[in-house]
Amino acid sequence: MIGAGKTDVGVVRSVNQDRFAVREELGLAILADGMGGAKDGDVAAEMAVEATIEHLGEVIRERPVEADDLRAAATLANRRVYDYASEDPSRFGMGTTLVIVVFNGQRALVGNLGDSRCYLFTKGILVQVTNDHSVVQKLLDSGEISFAEARNHPERHVLSTAIGVEPRVQMDVSTLYLNDDERLMMCSDGLSDLVDDKQIAMNLRAWGSNAERGVERLVDAAKAAGGRDNVTVVLVGP
């Protein structure tokens, strides 16, 4: 796996609650967007990333990773964040999104909880791989609102599930097979809320072969669009 990532506090926030990790030697990439207050969101995201590396790192060194291994990593992360939050009433509402990508050759497993996303960039086109776990996504799925209405819906940031909020979680996992010239892009909603898919694809077409430059340009695009949230972008490929 090859990859690069970048995170930025943005223009408005004073604390960055996003966290990511790119471990090329493991074929592993992780992104988490914390919530629940400045310090608590930061802690939740950090705990989720660390738990994921701990669990999947052991598995990867022993055998090929399967979908249930990603779910087990999410379960471990959830238990640690949930238990930590339960120790102190002031931590109520603490949690984090979580996106995991694991490569084994050309095969990629993609897992997600919350509204951080993973996209496939193929032949100059951006295709969303994950489904948001949010109130707005449920309204979209039921046909109650349009995509245009979803972008400005008052509950667009209300999640239906996330790491650390409830005692148990079930991570969605997809399997993809990538060509050498295809890439996966992971991002927090600090990018996807402010930069539309066409603009993201345009930047990736220009810089897709240079992952470091690609993530820099996308973070810059989110900040130029207002940067009202933390923004994190990760690009990975086989």
Q: What is the pLDDT of residue 98?
A: 99
CATH number at residue 184: 3.60.40.10
SS3 71: helix
Q: State the Rg of the chain over Cα.
A: 17
Q: What is the pLDDT of residue 199?
A: 95
Mean of the pLDDT values across residues 190-202? 95
Q: What is the pLDDT of residue 158?
A: 76
61-70, 106-115, 145-154, 187-196: least confident range = 145-154
Query: Residue 127: CB partners within 8 Å, gap ≥ 6?
Result: 119, 120, 121
73-101: string of b/e by CB count within 10 Å (b at 16+)?
bbbbbbbbbbebbeeeeebeebbbbbbbb
- The count of domains in the chain is 1
Query: Residue 166: CB partners within 8 Å, gap ≥ 6?
Result: 78, 82
CA count, 13 A, side-chain hemisphere, 87: 6
Give dist(CA 159, CA 7) in Å, integer: 22
Q: What is the pLDDT of residue 144?
A: 74
Q: What is the pLDDT of residue 208?
A: 63
CA distances to 21, 24, 64, 73, 80 from 58, rounded to whole Å, are 16, 15, 11, 11, 18
Could you tell me the two tokens for 108?
């990629």
Mean of the pLDDT values across residues 109-115? 98
1-16: string of b/e by CB count within 10 Å (b at 16+)?
bebbbbbbbbeebeeb
The predicted-structure confidence for 14-60, as pLDDT tens digits, reads as follows: 999 999 999 999 999 999 999 976 569 999 999 999 999 999 999 99
Mean of the pLDDT values across residues 3-11? 97
AA letter at 25: E
The predicted-structure confidence for 61-104, as pLDDT tens digits, reads as follows: 999 999 999 999 999 999 999 999 999 988 988 999 999 999 99
Interhelix angle 38-62/67-86, nearest 10 degrees: 150
Query: Residue 59: CB partners within 8 Å, gap ≥ 6?
Result: 65, 69
The predicted-structure confidence for 133-163, as pLDDT tens digits, reads as follows: 877 767 776 777 776 676 777 666 778 889 9
Residue 116 pLDDT greater than 80, yes or no: yes
Task: Tell me how crowded residue 59 is: count the other CB atoms within 10 A of its CB.
Answer: 17
pTM (predicted TM-score): 0.93
Q: What is the pLDDT of residue 38?
A: 57
CA count, 13 A, side-chain hemisphere, 223: 17
Query: Residue 203: CB partners within 8 Å, gap ≥ 6?
Result: 214, 217, 218, 221
Q: What is the pLDDT of residue 159?
A: 86
Q: What is the pLDDT of residue 160?
A: 81
Q: Which residues span the domain enclosing 106?
A: 2-237
Task: Tell me how crowded residue 196 is: count the other CB atoms within 10 A of its CB.
Answer: 13
